[in-house]
Homo-oligomer: A and B are copies of this chain.
Amino acid sequence: MSDTRPQSTHGAASVALESDVLARAAEVIKCLGHPLRLRLLESLETGERAVWELQEYSGATQAAVSQHLGSLRARGIVDSRREGTNVFYRITEPKVTSILNCIRRYDLPDRSEAT
């Protein structure tokens, strides 16, 4: 992968995140970068939900919901708990809530122009 380490030949911006921190952050962020996963997280913000609820709420197929929950879990973003035949998911990564709030706050990217 392209290097990404902070080298010396630069004016030094504030504190410079370490490469491994960036790499792990990128993994988590990338995982948030999918509409369905955002939707799932949004539904989990107010607390635990069973998979079937998430399915209904998102309108996505069973397999898709399960797989995307799996990928969120693999990164430690959510966790699950089985209760009888249901499996309940919940958010375990507090960062996520900040990011969702962030999306809500600005809502539209607003790429009209720039300046």
Contact = CB atoms under 8 A, between A and B. Distances in A.
Interface residues of A, number: 71
B28 A30 contact: no
- Protomer copies: 2
Contacts of A14: 45-46
22 contacts: A2-B35, A2-B60, A5-B59, A7-B56, A7-B58, A10-B57, A16-B42, A22-B38, A22-B103, A25-B38, A25-B103, A29-B32, A29-B38, A29-B103, A30-B30, A30-B34, A33-B33, A74-B114, A75-B109, A95-B109, A98-B98, A99-B99
A65 to B, nearest CB: 8
A80 B2 contact: no
